Amino acid sequence: MKKRKLNGLEVSAIGYGCMGLSMGYGTAPDKDDAIRLMHRAHDLGCTFFDTAELYGMGANEQLVGEAVLDIRDKVVIATKFLLTEKGSEYNTPGRLMQELRSRLENSLKRLGTDHVELYYQHRVNKDIPVEDMAYCMGELIREGKILGWGQSQATAEEIRRAHTVTPLTAIQSEYSIMERRFENDVLPVCEELGIGFVPFSPLANGFLSGKVNPEVQYTGMDARRVITRFDKDNMIANQPLLEVIRQVAADKHATPAQISLAWMLHKSDCIVPIPGSRNAARIEENLGAAAITLTAAEYTAMEDELAKIEIHGNRTDEDIAKLRTLK
């Protein structure tokens, strides 16, 4: 497995998003199976495991902690906190610091560790100055409780302002061939400042694997019920995109998922995608993308074809929130 650096923090070139082991895509695997999947990922060279306090209401952190207990010194753990309250709840740095320290201590307890390598603000709270957040993260770094920090779905301006106070390690935001909105502003800022960029949903929630059937109907607590790119009409309309990827995959003796990941690895050395899967063969496939290299000519030709294609549907936090109201 190749290595990359997120502002000095060394990780495998492809990480593992662990959310799906607890929630998001229907019935989760049992604990033993989930731990076996994480061990398999590590055996294949993955050293970067991503979780959050929100995933399974803490259950995912517990799961990750148990899975990496015996290899703790060989892996990088990233977790996240989410503050949704109004900024008036944290109107002093001391109050904000108190809340963050409490959140972090709870995460560390669930993870069974005394520190995490990377601590993300799960979404930027527009009511809390990013400078205040950055200052508090700097305090946690100085205490040794975290080694670095990051933001999720942040704007270029928010990144610059926060980075001035406490340098950011990484930005985790949605990014894939189907979702490229951060490509023109956020990604260049990350490259300029030496910040890592960690795409979540790098395979567009599995659509870019090319294995999703438009006729499938999702049920229960499955995010694909509310992600509009999985509407039947949109899936059919997006088939030309898959045809481009399938052709490149055939030429490279690879799979569409591998080409989708190799595409973003080629785009920038600061990118470290974190695909998630609950299938051992898919984990092997995804991590195997690190060994696939696109030439400059192949990449340019692929970009030329992608530029001709209109993407239908997307994934938004607002749509994901609707899942809680569905029967």
pTM (2 decimals)? 0.95
58-67, 123-132, 259-268: segment of lowest average pLDDT:
123-132
Active site residue 55: yes
The tally of domains found in the chain comes to: 1
Examine residue 145 and state whether it is found in any structural domain, yes or no. Answer: yes
CATH number of the domain encompassing residue 53? 3.20.20.100
Examine residue 192 and state whether it is found in any structural domain, yes or no. Answer: yes
Q: Could you tell me how far CA 211 lies from the centroid of its own chain?
A: 21
CA–CA distance, 156 with 36 (Å, rounded to integer): 38
Confidence of residue 25 (pLDDT cuts 50, 70, 90): confident
Residue 87's pLDDT is: 66
Examine residue 217 and state whether it is found in any structural domain, yes or no. Answer: no
Examine residue 134 and state whether it is found in any structural domain, yes or no. Answer: yes
Examine residue 35 and state whether it is found in any structural domain, yes or no. Answer: yes
Tell me the pLDDT tens digit for each residue of 147-205.
999 999 999 999 999 999 999 999 999 999 999 999 999 999 999 999 999 999 999 99
| 23, pLDDT greater than 80 | yes
Q: Give the domain extent around 190.
A: 3-206+255-293
Catalytic residue among 16, 25, 55, 120: 55
Residue 217's pLDDT is: 86
Examine residue 132 and state whether it is found in any structural domain, yes or no. Answer: yes
Task: Give, in order, the Cα–Cα distances in Å from 133 to each of 84, 142, 151, 229.
Answer: 13, 14, 10, 34
| 33, pLDDT greater than 80 | yes
Examine residue 216 and state whether it is found in any structural domain, yes or no. Answer: no
| 100, pLDDT greater than 90 | yes
| 320, pLDDT greater than 80 | yes
Q: Could you tell me how far CA 134 lies from the centroid of its own chain?
A: 21
Name the average pLDDT for the chain.
95
Average pLDDT over residues 17-21: 96
Query: Residue 124's CB: how many other CB atoms inside 10 A?
Result: 18
**Inter-helix orientation angle 256-267/296-306, to 10°:** 110
Confidence of residue 220 (pLDDT cuts 50, 70, 90): confident
Examine residue 249 and state whether it is found in any structural domain, yes or no. Answer: no
